[in-house]
Amino acid sequence: MSLRLEGRAAWISGGASGIGEATVHLFASEGARVAIVDVQAEAGRRLEAAVRAAGGEAMFLECDVADEEQVRQSIEQAAARFGGLQAIVNAAGIVHVKRLHEYTEPEWDRLMAVNVKSIFFSIKHGIRYLGRNPCSTVVNIGSISSFVGQAGTPAYTASKAAVLLLSQSIALDYAADGLRCNCICPGITDTPMLRHHLHATGDPAGALARRLHRVPLGRALTPGDVARAVLYLSCDDSAGVTGTSLVVDGGYLTAAEWETAKVTLPEDLS
């Protein structure tokens, strides 16, 4: 059976952790050469070594995606090493938990730069490679917060709504160049980002259980659940798909009201 990303090179931001990390592993196992782009150097280098040990091809590039020059350099380095670039995955993201009046302007600007402006930079500097391929793809990670408000995270919600519409606009503007652009909108996914917030409540198991009662599937998604959707939108299985948003949320957005009788917590929290 042929590998789904054979011969392709991918630049994956936020690749050192969570959804990005799972995407790095999956892409490499499907034959892609992968640039792991992240601010976390230690984790990124560990992952690079793990991918290589498993027979894949990966390079770690330390990069703050809010900085245009760093994004430009990381794309140039990846394209030079891999002889081009066919796929971009924008998974880097941050969240702050506070109400709007508690924000400082630099905090607001930082979140918007990491979550939204980074996508602009990746297209600006990646298009010269992506636009030369008939099968190139961009996948941006939005959120269920791209569609609905969420208490306590106003800047995050605004940023993820922007990611959705930016993805659609990119799809339109570059369709004639052979580039497809789509957005994945995950629900509650068990990653370090989620764990950080659960632990901040002082009762991680209780906090997660309360959230999961809103999820018809009754469990948190794994990073792999989301990575498989990223793979779908980055390979030829989705050749006819551009400008769409794929919600991967265990059914969360399906019902206005929902109460799941029994939820399943990850083993270490149950």
Q: Which residues are catalytic?
A: 156
Smaller CB distance to ligand NAD: residue 31 or 152? 152
Please report how close the Cβ of residue 193 comes to ligand NAD at its closest, in angstroms: 3
Selected range binding ligand NAD among 24-32, 33-41, 47-55, 234-242, rule: CB under 6 A: 33-41
SS (H, E, C) 107-131: HHHHHHHHHHHHHHHHHHHHHHHHC
Question: By CB under 6 A, is residue 152 in contact with ligand NAD?
Answer: no
* 66 near ligand NAD, rule: CB under 6 A: yes
Q: Is 250 in the site for ligand NAD (CB under 6 A)?
A: no
Cβ proximity to ligand NAD: between 164 and 193 the closer is 193
Q: Which of 91, 119, 139, 171 binds ligand NAD (CB under 6 A)?
A: 91
Which residue of 189, 234, 238, 242 would you call a contact of ligand NAD, by CB under 6 A?
A: 189
- Tell me, residue by residue from 110 to 149, as one string, x for binding to ligand NAD by CB under 6 A and - for no binding: ----x--------------------------x-x------
Asked whether position 78 contacts ligand NAD by CB under 6 A, the answer is no
Q: Binding to ligand NAD by residue 194, rule CB under 6 A?
A: yes
What does the binding site for ligand NAD look like in residue numbers (CB under 6 A)?
Answer: 13-14, 16-20, 38-40, 63-66, 91-94, 114, 141, 143, 186, 188-189, 191-194
